[in-house]
Structure 1
Amino acid sequence: MGAAMTTPGSAQATEDTWMFPPGDGWTFDQVKHLELPFDWELVDGVIVAHGQNNVWHNEVRDGIADGLKAARVEPYRVLTKQCVMVDDTNAPKPDVIVYDPRKLDFFEAESIPADKLALVIEVVSPGSRQHDRVRKPALFAANKVPCYWRVELDRDRRLAVHEYWLNADTRSYVSAPMHPVHHDKLITEVPFPVEIDLDGLVGF
């Protein structure tokens, strides 16, 4: 059996070599310049391609982001599909983030450092269930992101938003005590007071 192809650890990834990471994985600096014909994120030094999302996924993502933008208080800001720098080999792109922009170089920043995040939101699609339910919450909790929302489409095509708060002692998420799962309408006080009509996001 032939040896697996790898790329020297100091080399920059190219459009021809991105799928062959070096033994210790790509770093963000080695891949950030890539112009690939698909959306992607860096996971444990490997470039992971994102499939095409359904319309409902994008409508819900943008609707939640709009609701957060309308309710946000200073200093927080809201972005969709923005690269987050967890460490050199992990740069995920959550569906929505709420972050604190203070002390960031607004015009030069290529990613948002994980320690600037107040909330991460992932809208679960068939190809992302394992990542959004298990891997990403563990990653963000380990890096002390205070809040995580997981948005699911139930079998009856109603939205369910699972709200998690960080347990700082264990660096793991626990269900929000007063409202672990939101149906119909999302109402919460963290990271700031917000109310979002969930039924309205999928009702046409």
Structure 2
Amino acid sequence: MGVVMTTPQQGRATEDTWMFPSADGWTFGQVKHLELPFDWELVDGRIAVRGQTKFWHNRVRNRLLIALEAARAEPYEVVTEQCVMVDDQNINKPDVIVFDPRKLNFLELECVPVEKLALVVEVVSPGSRQDDRVRKPALFAANKVPYHWRGELDRDQKLAVHEYWLNADTRSYFPAPSHPVHHDKLVTELPFPIEIDRDALVGF
């Protein structure tokens, strides 16, 4: 019999080795303990740095959180900057999520399971355009998250919120039929009724 060569399984990442994953990539269990000097997500087993955001981005994110929290219907909960577990090698932190908390143990919960999400909200920053417009919507649609909102500044530097619904057959998003883009007001019935003035979100 020939000798079978094996390589030892890569252990936990450290602050010195996180940038050198194995060919198979890191898992959440291997990196969740890291204390890094930046915020990060896990993308296909690689740690991806989350860039700094500007004041307007944080204001819109926080005020969307407040508006969604005020309007939310049972059984939903709303939270910002919470990690979402798509799978063991893909951990994302959307700006805001609406999710079903039933059967989740909040005392033990590390990341919200993607199957619990009802809505993902992303506010586009200059350093995250491709992620927020392409990669993340495709990822969440593939995992059957029903609704997706994308907020960004238009050419006139005014806030626009793009609303998308899931096509369950193709697992892709399509613009909401009656209101694909919200300008002066964000008004929708899904995942629960809500009405938000743009000026209340940005104040400029």
Q: TM-score, normalised by structure 2?
A: 0.94
1:155 deviation in Å?
A: 2.4
Query: Structure 2 vs 1, CA of residues 10 and 155 (structure 1 numbering), >3 Å: closer, same or farther?
Result: same
Equivalent runs, 1:20-31 vs 2, <5 Å: 20-31=20-31
Larger Rg over CA atoms = 2
1:10 deviation in Å?
A: 3.2
Alignment partner of 2:134: what SS?
Answer: helix
1:198 deviation in Å?
A: 1.4
Residue 197 of structure 1: aligned partner: 197
Q: Identity of aligned pairs, percent?
A: 74
- The aligned amino acid for 2:25 is G
User: Where does structure 2 lack aligned partners over 5 or more consecutive residues?
Assistant: 1-6
- Counterparts of 2:63 and 2:114, CA distance in 1: 23
- The aligned amino acid for 1:189 is E
2:181 maps to 1:181: yes
1:196 deviation in Å?
A: 1.1
- The aligned amino acid for 1:107 is L
Equivalent runs, 1:124-143 vs 2, <5 Å: 124-143=124-143
> How many residues were matched structurally?
198
Q: 1:76, 1:99 within 8 Å by CA — same for their partners in 2?
A: yes
Equivalent runs, 1:77-92 vs 2, <5 Å: 77-92=77-92
Q: 1:9, 1:24 within 8 Å by CA — same for their partners in 2?
A: no
1:33-68 alpha-carbon deviations (Å, 9 max, x no partner): 111111110011110111111000000000111000
- Counterparts of 2:18 and 2:71, CA distance in 1: 40
Equivalent runs, 1:145-184 vs 2, <5 Å: 145-184=145-184
2:73 maps to 1:61: no
1:106 deviation in Å?
A: 1.0
Alignment partner of 1:94: what SS?
Answer: coil
1:199 deviation in Å?
A: 2.2
User: Where does structure 1 lack aligned partners over 5 or more consecutive residues?
Assistant: 1-6
Equivalent runs, 1:92-107 vs 2, <5 Å: 92-107=92-107
1:7-31 alpha-carbon deviations (Å, 9 max, x no partner): 9643101111111111111111111
- Counterparts of 1:173 and 1:51, CA distance in 2: 26
Alignment partner of 2:22: what SS?
Answer: coil
Q: TM-score, normalised by structure 1?
A: 0.94
Q: CA RMSD in A?
A: 1.2
- Counterparts of 1:109 and 1:203, CA distance in 2: 35
Alignment partner of 1:137: what SS?
Answer: helix
Alignment partner of 1:60: what SS?
Answer: helix
